[in-house]
Amino acid sequence: MNPITGIAVIRTAIGAGALVAPRASATLFNLDADASSPYVMRLFAAREIGLGVATLAAPANVRTALVAGGIAIDASDAVAGYLALEDGEVSRVGQAKLMAPAVAAVAGAVVGLALSRRGI
């Protein structure tokens, strides 16, 4: 499978999981299971599914730009995790649970783009 396709499939699957099981997804991200958690997770799900499906449906010359956009989004998620700790909203463990998936997504997408450019 092309790395860019893999990135898009993973993003879509993560979004689908958050859409179908928003409370469980909130727990994975160390978010309080309060009344707003499912709503927030469904917003996240819509973003992930939208970007993933758009990447899958896009012509080859647009897919790289969509993955780059995803990198920017995931990097902003990592910054949000950092700020949550700075503002006293989460513990260090909570920060790690918020930031680790975002940092991993950025790293994975950067590697995927590099492999794609090499024709792998």
- What is the pLDDT, as a whole number, of residue 21? 96
Task: Name the residue range of residue 56's domain.
Answer: 3-117
* Domain count along the chain: 1
Cβ atoms of 62 and 51 closer than 8 Å: no
- What is the pLDDT, as a whole number, of residue 46? 98
- What is the pLDDT, as a whole number, of residue 85? 87
- What is the pLDDT, as a whole number, of residue 83? 94
- What is the pLDDT, as a whole number, of residue 17? 96
- For the chain (length 120 residues), average pLDDT per consecutive 10? 92 96 88 84 97 96 94 95 89 86 93 87
Give the integer Cα–Cα distance in Å for 66 and 72: 10
- What is the pLDDT, as a whole number, of residue 80? 92
**101 contacts: CB under 8 Å, gap ≥ 6:** 29, 77
- What is the pLDDT, as a whole number, of residue 68? 95
Give the integer Cα–Cα distance in Å for 119 and 114: 9
Give the integer Cα–Cα distance in Å for 87 and 79: 12
Name the residue among 101, 85, 83 with its Cα closest to residue 93: 85
